[in-house]
Structure 1
Amino acid sequence: MRFDFVLLALLGMRPLSGYDLRKWVEVEGQFVRSRVHHSQIYRLLSRMVADGWVEFEVDPREGRPDAKVYRLTPLGHEKLLEWVRSPYEPTSRFQDADFLARFGFTVAFDRQAALRMLRTELDYRRALIARSRDRNRTLRFEDPLPELDQVLAHEVFDRMHDYGAAAVDRWVAWLEETKTWLEGQ
């Protein structure tokens, strides 16, 4: 997921300064994107201004540096809706922050596009479960190091599989519950 689309979505909600965007990323958006340096936000804003996606007005502040308050241009609005409505490609890892960020903003701008995302994610996860849940998980050892505890290795990998299976089942349940809720809105 390109981070500039997250910034566009935030600006689609209201005009914001670079500082306000940074605060959102550090607090409310901490699960959307980790380790975003403020310079990255300002570089993206500069590029989006150059590309004609956003524009800014200078907001004079007494006793503090003036702030640039950014807002979407008509082209930025168009680019945001293109992203929201573009086909979703599931990632190999479930509960990916990319899905959650895009889904959260997509719901706010286009419920039908969000439902398509949910259905795509559900279909992908269900197919993945069907393919891999009952696979042969036998570990094979050939000339293992003497320190390797083969029994313990099998047990820990079985425990990790059980954890992963329960987690993906919970993810699928959340997707199904959210789909049902969103269909009722």
Structure 2
Amino acid sequence: MKFEYVLLALLSFRPYSGYDLRKWLEVEGQFLRSRAHHSQIYRLLGRMVTDGWVEFEVDPREGRPDAKLYRLTAEGRRVLLEWVRSPYEPPSRFQDVDFMSRFGFTVALDRQAAKVLVGTELEYRRAQVARFRGRPRTLRFENPVPEVDPDMARAAFERMHEQGARSVDLWITWLEDTMRWLEAE
């Protein structure tokens, strides 16, 4: 997922300064992206202005530097909706940041696209569980270094598998509940 889409989506809610975008991402948006540096945000905003996706007005601030308040243009709105409605390709790992970002913003912008997004993720995870849940799990050892305890390694990997299975089952339950919520709204 390109970070530009997160910024466009946030700007679809209200105008933001670059500083306010960074603050939001550090607190409310901390699960959307890890450590967004202010230079990256300002560089992307500059590129998005050049591309015609956003525009800004200067907001004079008494006793502080003036701020640029960025807002979406019609072209930025078009690009954002194109992303929201674009096909989603689930990665092999569930609970991916791309899904959560797309979900959070897509629900607000296009409920039908949100249903497609959640349905795609749900179908993929169910198929993934069906394909891998009952597989034989083996961990082979051939002349391991003396410190390796094969029994402990097998037990550790079995515990990790059990935790992964519980986690993906919980994720599927959340997706099913979310789909029901989207369909009821």
Supply the distance in 2 between the matched residues of 1:53 and 1:128 (Cα, whole angstroms): 38
For residues 110-146 of structure 1, what are the alpha-carbon distances to aligned partners after superposition, in whole Å with 9 as ceiling and x for unaligned? 0000000001000111111111111111111111222
Q: What residue in structure 2 maps to residue 140 of structure 1? A: 140
Q: TM-score, normalised by structure 1?
A: 0.98
Supply the distance in 1 between the matched residues of 2:159 and 2:94 (Cα, whole angstroms): 18
2:14 counterpart letter in structure 1: R
1:172 counterpart letter in structure 2: I
Counting only pairs closer than 5 Å after superposition, residues 78-97 of structure 1 correspond to structure 2 as 78-97=78-97
Q: What residue in structure 2 maps to residue 100 of structure 1? A: 100
Deviation at 1:82, TM superposition (A): 0.3
Contiguous gaps of at least 5 residues in structure 2? none
Supply the distance in 2 between the matched residues of 1:14 and 1:87 (Cα, whole angstroms): 26
Supply the distance in 2 between the matched residues of 1:147 and 1:12 (Cα, whole angstroms): 56
Supply the distance in 2 between the matched residues of 1:140 and 1:92 (Cα, whole angstroms): 23
SS at structure 1 position matched to 2:29 = coil
Supply the distance in 2 between the matched residues of 1:21 and 1:62 (Cα, whole angstroms): 20
Deviation at 1:16, TM superposition (A): 1.0
Q: What residue in structure 1 maps to residue 47 of structure 2? A: 47
Deviation at 1:166, TM superposition (A): 0.2
Deviation at 1:162, TM superposition (A): 0.1
Supply the distance in 2 between the matched residues of 1:92 and 1:65 (Cα, whole angstroms): 46
Deviation at 1:91, TM superposition (A): 1.1
Supply the distance in 2 between the matched residues of 1:69 and 1:143 (Cα, whole angstroms): 63
Give the ranges of 4+ consecutive aligned residues of structure 1 lying more than 6 Å apart after TM superposition.
none
Deviation at 1:67, TM superposition (A): 0.4
For residues 31-73 of structure 1, what are the alpha-carbon distances to aligned partners after superposition, in whole Å with 9 as ceiling and x for unaligned? 0000110110000000000000000000111110000000111
Q: What residue in structure 2 maps to residue 153 of structure 1? A: 153
SS at structure 2 position matched to 1:152 = helix
SS at structure 2 position matched to 1:159 = helix
Contiguous gaps of at least 5 residues in structure 1? none
Q: What residue in structure 2 maps to residue 114 of structure 1? A: 114
Count of equivalent residues: 185
Supply the distance in 2 between the matched residues of 1:134 and 1:143 (Cα, whole angstroms): 28
For residues 82-128 of structure 1, what are the alpha-carbon distances to aligned partners after superposition, in whole Å with 9 as ceiling and x for unaligned? 01111111011101111001110000000000000001000111111
For residues 14-33 of structure 1, what are the alpha-carbon distances to aligned partners after superposition, in whole Å with 9 as ceiling and x for unaligned? 11111111111011000000
Q: What residue in structure 2 maps to residue 183 of structure 1? A: 183
Supply the distance in 2 between the matched residues of 1:10 and 1:146 (Cα, whole angstroms): 54
The percent identity for this pair of structures is 70
2:65 counterpart letter in structure 1: P
Q: What residue in structure 2 maps to residue 173 of structure 1? A: 173
